[in-house]
Amino acid sequence: MSTSHTRRRLLASSLLLALVTAGSLVVTGAPALARDTVQIPCPSWATVGWSAKPLSVASSSPSFLTSESLIVANNLDTPVTATFTSTTSRTFTVSATAGISIPNLFGFLNVNVSSTITSSTTTAIGVNAQATVPPHQRVIGDYGVDAYDVYFNAYWVIKLHTSPGGCWVWADTMGYEVLHATAPTNTQGWQLRIG
């Protein structure tokens, strides 16, 4: 079990114990965030949920999300011209580490990494590209969308709540973690290479 997972479980247990025994909860933010102490009454049947709040980008690099790959092999002694046509439609969305809720991740990435990032993009069908295939070689064509691999600093947030309309309590956990996200852009097309 990871350190961060253990930390989240301990915090959740402590907060729930406070709810059951005291009927109210004092929540203090992480010192680095300088948030005020908040006290909100909350019934003992409150449930717990986790999410992460992005703070800053640690690193980002361009990447490519492939919708389909096609290969043309030239077994002749002379060059040939190959035409690649996209035939598969696939949707790519902004995604992060599995099992983690990160509200407004798209907005954070769009502002802090690139304005070309979209929350969702679907590859087109019927887009053509041509390439010359040298003798006794092959050309590989990958159709897809430009994207970014992003590592970002985030802190964990615990959310305690009752049924709709009940109380909501947000508490920042101590410590931060680096999370990963994949973000598609609005640019799509072919990447051709000798393979």
Residue ranges covered by each domain of the chain: 3-194
Separation between Cα atoms, residue 68 and residue 29, nearest integer Å: 46
pLDDT at 177: 84
Separation between Cα atoms, residue 38 and residue 28, nearest integer Å: 7
Separation between Cα atoms, residue 158 and residue 74, nearest integer Å: 58
Question: Running DSSP on this structure, what letter comes out for residue 117?
Answer: B
Helices (H), ranges, 1-128:
3-22, 105-112
| Closest by CA position to 86, among listed 142, 137, 134, 166 | 142
pLDDT at 118: 97
Answer whether residue 19 shows pLDDT above 70.
no
Separation between Cα atoms, residue 113 and residue 181, nearest integer Å: 11
Answer whether residue 8 shows pLDDT above 70.
no
Separation between Cα atoms, residue 160 and residue 48, nearest integer Å: 5
Higher local confidence (pLDDT), 126 or 102: 126
